[in-house]
Amino acid sequence: MKCISQTKEGVIIKLRIIPRASKNEICGELGDALKIKLQAPPVEGKANKALIEFLADTLDISRNQISILSGDTGRNKRVLIAGVAIKDIEVSLT
């Protein structure tokens, strides 16, 4: 997946978030980003919180391992998943 890259801190994922969807789901790649639909609205950080919870549940990791590097207020985001290998992430996201 070209949306995922390995760093010494962990794995960085480029995301395209679609808020106010009917359900939370991963919809595959869109360009160089992974498209994720979230039920939460994009107000007061609700979509960001929902994204972190969704990724933690999907990847079976702690929420503390996930941080938003860029795109706090936009739909395009870069997320760091600390302490994991790229192969583990790719298996969980496909």
d(CA 62, CA 17): 21
Q: What is the pLDDT of residues 41-92, one digit of tens each?
A: 999 999 999 999 999 999 999 999 999 999 999 999 999 999 999 998 888 8
Is it the case that residue 16 has pLDDT exceeding 90? yes
Could you give the domains of the chain? Answer: 4-93 (3.30.1200.10)
Look at the block and give the residue holding tokens 């978030």.
Answer: 17
**pTM for the model:** 0.93
Specify the pLDDT at position 60: 93
Specify the pLDDT at position 92: 82
The DSSP line for 7-64 is -SSEEEEEEEEE-S-SS-EEEEEETTEEEEE-SS-SSTTHHHHHHHHHHHHHHT--GG
Is it the case that residue 94 has pLDDT exceeding 80? no
